[in-house]
Chains A and B, each alone.
Chain A
Amino acid sequence: MKTTAYRLSSGGAVDRSRPLSFQFDGAAYQGFAGDTLASALLANGVRLFGRSFKYHRPRGVMALGSAEPNALVELRAGAQREPNIQATMAELYDGLVARSQNRFPSLRYDLMAANQLAARFFVAGFYYKTFMWPSAFWEPVYEKLIRRAAGLGRAADAGDPDRYDHMHAHPDVLVVGGGPSGLAAARAASRVGARTMLVDENPNLGGALRFERTAIDGAPGDMWTDQITSEIADCGNGEILRRTTALGRYDHNVVLALERVSDHLPTPEKGRPRQRLWIIRPKQIVVASGAEERPIAFADNDKPGVMLSSAVRGFVNRYAVAPGRRVAIVTVNDDGYLTARDLKAAGVDVTLIADARGRTSVVSAELEAAGAPVLRNALPEQALGGIEVSGLRLQNAAGDRLADHPCDVIAVAGGYNPRIQLLSQSGAAPVWREDLLSFVPPETDDATQVAGACRGVYDLKACIEDGVAAGAEAARRAGFTDAADAPRPEPRPVAAAKLFEAPKPIGRSRGKAFVDFQNDVTADDVRLAVREGYEAVEHLKRYTTLGMATDQGKLSSVNGLAVLAEARGKPIAEVGTTRFRPPYAPAAIGAFAGYERGETFQPVRRTAMHRSHEQACATFVEAGQWLRPRYYARAGEDMTAAIRREAAAVRNTLGVCDVSTLGKIDVYGPDAMEFLNRLYINNWAKLPVGKARYGVMLREDGHIFDDGTTSRLSDDHCFLTCTTANAARVLAHMEYAAEVLFPDYDVTFCSATEQWCGVAIAGPNSRNALGKLFDGFDVSDAALPFMGVAETELFGVKARVFRISFSGELAYEINVPWGAGEMLWRRLMEAGAEFDITPYGTEALSVLRIEKGHIAGPEIDGRTTAADVGLGRMMAKKDFIGKTLAARPGLTAADRPALVGVRPVSAEDRLRGGAHFVKDPDRFEQESLGWVSSVADSPNVGSWIGLGFLKGGAARLGERIYAAYPLKAEMTEVEICAPCFVDPEGERLRG
C-alpha cells in the first residue's frame, strides 16, 4: 500500500504490514496497527479534528495522551456511540468509525463560529450576566439555545448494550504509572515478595520512553521496558494492568482504576466486558504518574498545528508521523531542542527554534553548532493562519515585533507539570517550587510514595533510581523487610525561562490567548474575573470555568494560576491551587454502574406462589424488591374491571391474596412481652396465648413508624408482622432497642419473612373454605374466634391460622413454611372452588382497606401521629418509644389534620390522592385544610371513596368542601364522612 502523505517511510512502532481501514466524518482512511486515531489522521494530513466548546474555533491535536483537550471525537455508531473520546487515546482498529463534534453543518464550515464575532460578549461569566432576564425565558428559550451552541458530543440514543465489570484487588503495593520510575518501583517491590500491581493507562508500558529515542544501558528504551516488564510478570507476585487509568484516590488509600478491556476492539470478545472498574485497596501506593508538558498562552495558540513539543516528538518517534512539513519550535528550556534533534534524525524539517532564554545551555549549544536555526530571546506573539497554522509571529522580551516566520507546525515547550492529580485529590495541597517552575506533591502520608517526574525528578537515570528506592520503601512498609534502603535522588533545578503567557504589547491587535482550551477560557478572561472581584482561586475557577472541562485542567491549571498571580501581583505560591477532583480522566457512567443496572440492578424477590400468580395471568407490581400481583385480569377485562370484580368477590363470597411479603419477626424469651411493650404504644402484657392484636410503633420523635399484628404463640414466644416496605427497618429498630436502649431484657428475635409464606382468605365463605382445606381442625367461631390464633398441620407440614382481617370481612391468614407455598395455594383453590374463590391483588386489597378505613403507607407517611389516625386511645400508660414526644404541644394540637373519610357529592366524580381540601371552589391558591391520602373506585359503595386528613377532623362530618387538584385543574365538591364505608359496626368480621 502507498504510504500516506505525512507517514515517514521508516521508524516508529507502527506495524506497516497491518494496514487498518477507518472512517472519520464519513471519509475513508487507512492507518497501521499501533496507531491511535490521532496519529492515523495526522498521517493522512488531517489536522482539523473538532470545534471548540464556546467559540466553535477550529481545533486539532495538541498532546499525545490523556491530557489532550481539543481532539475529542464521537467514537462508534448507534447504541455504542460514545462522545468526547480523545483521539490521542483511541487505539485504531479495523473498521473504526469516528465523527467530529460540536460543528454545524460541517467541520470546515461551522456556522456557530460566528460566536467568535460576538466574542467580546462571550467573556467569563457570560451566562450569568446575559441570560438573567426575563426569568420565564430560561427553560423555553435560553437553555435550548445554549445547549445547541455549547456542549460537546452527543450521547448514544439507545441503552448501552455492553457489559461493565467490577473487580476488587488488595495488593501489598500498587504502582500507578508504567514509565521508567513505575516499572523500576514495581520490580523492586515484587522481587522482595510484595504482591505488586502496576496500572498504566496506555496499551504499552514505558511511559515517556515510548516516545523517545533514548537508550538505556546502550539498548533502546523499549527493550529495557520489555525486560523489566517480564521480570515483574515472571516473579509470581506481580500483576500488570494495561489500558488502566487510576481515576481517583479516596480515604483509606482506596484507588479506583478503569481498565478499558475492549475499547481497542471493534466489539468486545464473547464473554468479555467493555470496561472493568477496579476497586484497589493496597497497603502501599507508589505514585509514578510522570509529568505533562504545558503550553504557553499566546495569541491564537489554539490553531490546529500548534502542538506540545513533546507531542510533536512523540508522533514522529512512536508513530512515524510528521505533524507537518515545516516545524517551528517555541521553547523555554532544552526540551524544544530534543524535539529538533529527533525531528532532524527522522528527516522532518525544523525551520526555527525560538528560545525564550538569552543564555545557552549544553544541549542548545550542541545543536546550534550542528546547524540548528536557533533564535534566542525570541518569544511567540501569535500563531498566524486561517483555519490552520501557516506561520509564527515572534517578539522579543521587550515586546518588539520580530520577523514573521512561515511554518505549518508550532511545537511549544513550556516546561513540565508533574501529574499530581491523584495526590491532590485526597486533600493535601501541592507545593510550588520556583526552582522547578512547577507544583510538586506535598509531604505524603505513611502509605504513599511518589517517584520520578511526578515529584520533579526528570533525569531518566534518576527516575529509575527513584523508582527502585520508592518501590523498595513501599515493600518494606508493607512488611517485606528484606527490601534494601536506597537514597532518593532530589529534583534538579530546571534551566528554563519563566514564561506562562507571552507578553501582550499594548495597542497591537491580537487574537485570543487560550489558557483552558477545552472550556475556551483565555488569559483575558482570567484578568477580567480578577477585575470583577473573583480573585480567589476557587472563585476564579467557577466564574471562568477554568479547569472544569473533561480534561480537568491538565494543561490549563498552572498557566491559569500564573496569569491570576500576575494579575494580582502575587507569587504563584500565594494564590494557591484548587483541589483536583476525581475522576482523573472521563469515565463512562456504565463503568460505575457495573452489573447494577436493568434486571441485575437489585435482587428480585418472588413469593413461593409466584408461579401460580403467573398462571392466573397476574400483572405484577414492584413493592420494594418484591414482585406482588397487582390484579388478575381475565380475558377481555381491563385493570379497572378486574379490580372491581376482585374487590366485589371478597365482599360477596371469597377471595384469596398472597400476603407472604409482610415482614415477619419471631420473638422469644421471658421478657418478650415486656420488650414489645417498649416498642409499641399498646400494652401487650395481657395478650393471652392463642390471640393476636393490632399494634402501632412510634419513632422516638412521636410519629407513627409502623403497624402490624402480634400473635402470642406461647408464654415466651410471639410472632409479629410489619409492613412489607418497612420490614428491614423494623428489624433494625428492634435490634437497636434490644442492644442499646433496653439491654437488660432477656429477649431474642429474628426475621422469619422468608421462612413463612402466607395467604389471606377473606369473604363470607372463608370459614367454609377453611373447613374444607384442613382435615380435623375446628374452624368454628368458638374454637377460633376473631383475633384467635391456632397451630395445625396441612398435609403434613406445619401451619398457623390467624383470624385477622384487613378487608373487614370474615377472614383468616394462613402461614406455612415457604417451601409449601405452592401447595397451599393449589389446595386452597381446590377447597374454594365451589365458592368461586377469586385471587385478588394489591389494588383490590387497597380498595377493601380504604372501604374499612384501615390505614396503610399513605396514612403512615412519617408526619402523622397515632392520634391523627384515630388511634390515640391505644397509647397505654407505660414507657414506650415515642411516648414523651408524642405528647408535646405540636403533636397534640387540636387543629392538627385528623383522619376522615371523603366521597364526592356527585357520584360520578372521581377523587385523586394528593388533592387538597379547600373552602373556595373558584381558585386554587388558597389555604389548604388538609389532604386526600388514599382513594379507591369502590364497587361496594358504588362511587369513588377516599381517606384523608382534615383540620378539625371528626367535628366536620357531613360538611361539604372541595378537593382541589391543580395538576389536572380539577375542583371536586366532596362530603366529609367517617373513615369507614362498609359495615361500620364490624359485624362481618366477627360473624
Chain B
Amino acid sequence: MHQIPCPWCGVRDETEFQYQGDATVRRPAAEASEEAYANYVYFRENPKGVHIEYWRHTGGCRRLLVVERDTVSHDIKAVRFAHIPGGGEDA
C-alpha cells in the first residue's frame, strides 16, 4: 500500500509501479570475470533501513525511477528519474 511520488506524474499508488530491483548494483564491464558477473546477477544486500531501488511507473509515464525506501518503516525518502544524471526532480 505504498504511494510513490513520481517526479513526472505526482503521487501514485504502488499498484501502478513495477519493482525492478536493486539500484545500487552496476553491470560489470564486458571483459569482467565470471565471478564479477555472478556477484552482479545473484548477490544482493538485504539492508535493514534505507534501500535504493528501481521502480518503473508502468501504469503511468513508464519512466524508471530510483526510489530510496526504508525497509523498516516503508517510508519513501526520495525519488528521482533513473535516466537523468543527478535525478531531475525539477523536470
- Residues of chain A at the chain B interface (Cβ within 8 Å): 250-252, 254, 279, 281, 700-701, 732, 735-736, 738-741, 743, 879, 883-885, 887-888
Contact = CB atoms under 8 A, between A and B. Distances in A.
Contacts of B3: 252, 281
A739 B1 contact: no
Contacts of B73: 251
B83 A741 contact: no
B64 A739 contact: yes
B40 to A, nearest CB: 7
Contacts, number: 54
Q: Is the interface of A mostly helix, strand, loop or mixed?
A: helix
Interface string B66-91: 00000001100000001100000000
Looking at A250, A700, A739, A879, the one whose CB has the most chain B CB atoms below 10 A away is A739
Contacts of A884: 28, 30, 32-34, 37
Given A735-B56, A739-B82, A251 B18 contact: no
B41 A251 contact: no
14 contacts: A250-B1, A251-B1, A252-B2, A252-B74, A254-B1, A281-B3, A735-B56, A735-B62, A738-B83, A739-B64, A739-B82, A883-B30, A884-B28, A884-B33
Interface string B24-47: 000110101110011011100000
A736 B23 CA distance: 11
A700 B64 CA distance: 19
B14 to A, nearest CB: 9
Contacts of B28: 884
A740 B1 contact: no
A888 B40 CA distance: 14
Given A252-B3, A252-B74, A888-B34, A735 B40 contact: no
A701 B18 contact: no
Contacts of A883: 30
B24 to A, nearest CB: 12
A952 B34 CA distance: 26
Contacts of B83: 738-739, 743
Contact of A700 (B32, B37, B56, B62): B37
A739 B80 CA distance: 13
Nearest to B73: A251
Contacts of B40: 700
Nearest to B21: A736
Of listed B3, B37, B73, residue having the most chain A CB within 10 A: B37
A6 to B, nearest CB: 46
Contact of A740 (B18, B54, B74): B54
Given A251-B1, A740-B82, A885 B38 contact: yes
Nearest to A889: B34
A738 B64 CA distance: 10
Given A252-B3, A740-B64, A885 B82 contact: no
A597 B40 CA distance: 40
Given A700-B27, A736-B64, 14 more contacts: A250-B1, A251-B1, A252-B3, A254-B1, A700-B37, A732-B56, A739-B64, A740-B27, A740-B54, A741-B27, A879-B30, A883-B30, A884-B37, A888-B34
B71 to A, nearest CB: 11
B1 A732 contact: no
B43 to A, nearest CB: 12
Nearest to B32: A884
A8 to B, nearest CB: 47
A679 to B, nearest CB: 13
A741 B25 CA distance: 11
Given A732-B58, A883-B30, A884-B32, A251 B2 contact: yes
